[in-house]
Structure 1
C-alpha cells in the first residue's frame, strides 16, 4: 500500500499490542510522499478485515545537536555557591530552571548568559599545514607542551581526526598560539617575509600580517574587511585576492579562509554569504514565514504538482513550497479562494437564492 506513494528509506514493524494492534513506521524519501500517504490511507478499511480501519499519521522528528560538557556542571555549581541558588537542567525542554531567593533572577540570568557566550566563542581550531606555515616544532608532544606552557594546560588540545590544534580560550589566545607556532618554523620564512611587505589593500606596512597561499600579505583587519565585503556582494560568491594591484585573481578556497580568519569571524562571514545568496535567489530559496524564524526551504519548481509541503525543523510550521502559505489539507487554489473571499461570497449568494448543497458533495 505504501510503496504506491514513493520509495522509503526505512520500514519498521513492532509487535502486536494487547488490544490486537500492530504499529509500523515508514520513512519516505520526501516529506510530501509521507503526507500524501497519510491523507489517502487514514481511515481506510483494511483488505483483510471489514471491521478494522487503518490509522495513518505523519510523524515529524527534529534533531538538535547540543554541546554539553562536564565543565558546564562545574560552572553551574560555582554559580550556585556564589549566588545561593540551585540550577536544574531540563534536557527534555532544553531549559535551565533556577530556584532561589527573589530579586536575583537578573544576576543569575546575566551569569548564565556570559557562561554560554564564553563557551560558544572560546573554541578555535588551527589546522596543521606546512603550506600555511603552521606546524608543531619538533615532535607533536613537545610542540603541545610548549603551547600549554605559554597559554595554560587547559587551553590547548589536539584533534586527531582533523589534525588540528584546539584552543579553548579568547581570540587573543588564538592569535598568540598561531604566533608561537609560526615562530617555531625553521629559517627566515613567513614571519620575517610578512613583516617586510606592505598590505595589498591599504599599502601600508602590514599590521598583524597574514600571508595567503598566493604569497600576498594583508593586515589582519584589512583581510577581514575584504572577506566581509565580498560575502555581502550579490552574484557568485567568492573571495578573490587583491594582490598585484588587483591582478592576482586567486579565488580563496574554503579551508584557506577558515585558516586565515579567527573562528568567530569565519562563522560571521559564512552567515553573511549564506544570507546574501538566499536574498539574491528568491526564485529558489525562501525563509520560513514564521516571525523570527531563520530556517530556509527550497521553492517548488513549476512542474511539481501539487507542490510539496515543507515542515520547518525549528518552529514546526507546515508551509506550501509553491505559494509559501500554510494551508494543510487544502490545495493552493482552494486556499487562495478562501483568503480572497470567494467562498464566503458563494455561500452568501446561495443563501440569498435559497440554494442548498447536494448531500453527496461538499463545497470547500
Structure 2
C-alpha cells in the first residue's frame, strides 16, 4: 500500500490518469482498493498494481521482519524505521513519516484531518498540523485560512463571510435583521438575510420584494429539466454535480457524506455506505 501511494500519490490519482480509469477509491482505514472503469483500463491498472506488489516483494526478499504492534504504520502496515515514526497527539497512533505527509497533503482540502487507524475517528490537533506543516513546508497561515473556511462552510447557520468578494471577515448570523459593518471593506450587511443592509425594512419584506420564492421554484424547475445530474447538498445547499461513481457523495463545501438516492446525510463515509446497502440494496 505504501509503495502504491509513493508511486501514484496518496489518493492514487496518477494511477487513474495513466490507466484511463473513471476513479479509484481507497479506504485507508480498511485497506480496501476499489478500481472502476472500462474493462481494459481496469486490466491495465491491475497489471500495474501487480508489478508494484512483485517489485515490493523483491525488495523485501531476505529481510527478516520482527512482529510488532506498536511500530506499525496505521496506513501502510509497514514496520516503521527508527527515526521515522510520528505519533498523533490525541490518540497516539503511529505513522511512518511518508504516510503522515501523504495524508496531510491530501486531506488538507477536506478538513478536519482524522486518524486513519481503523475505528479511530480522532481529529488531528493543532500541534499535529503545525508539526507536519513544518515538515512539508506548508505555511501555517494557509492552514489557518483553510481551517477557517472549512469551519464557516460547516456552520453557515451561525457564521458567514462578508459578502464582498475576497474579503475574509466573518460575522455572526442573527435570526432577525441586524446591521454589521465590515471593519475591512466597510460593507453594510444584514446579518439576518446576508444582503446589503435594508434600513427600515424587515428581511421578509426584502425577500418578498425580490420574489425569492418564485426564483427558487424556477431554479428547481431548471434543475429538473436540465440533463446535468445536479442536486443541492441537504446540509449546506451547495450545488453538487454527480458525474460517475457510487451513490455516496461528499459535499466539497461542508464535507458531509450524502446518499445521492434520497439525499440523507451522514457524519462518516461508513454510515453512508451502510445506509446505501441497507436501504437501497447497493452502493451504486
Structure with the bigger RCO (C-alpha within 8 Å, sep 6+) is: 2
- Tell me if both proteins adopt one fold, taking TM over 0.5 as the criterion: no
Where on the TM-score scale, by shorter chain, does this alignment land: which range? 0.3 to 0.5
Higher alpha-carbon Rg? 1
TM-score by length of 2: 0.38
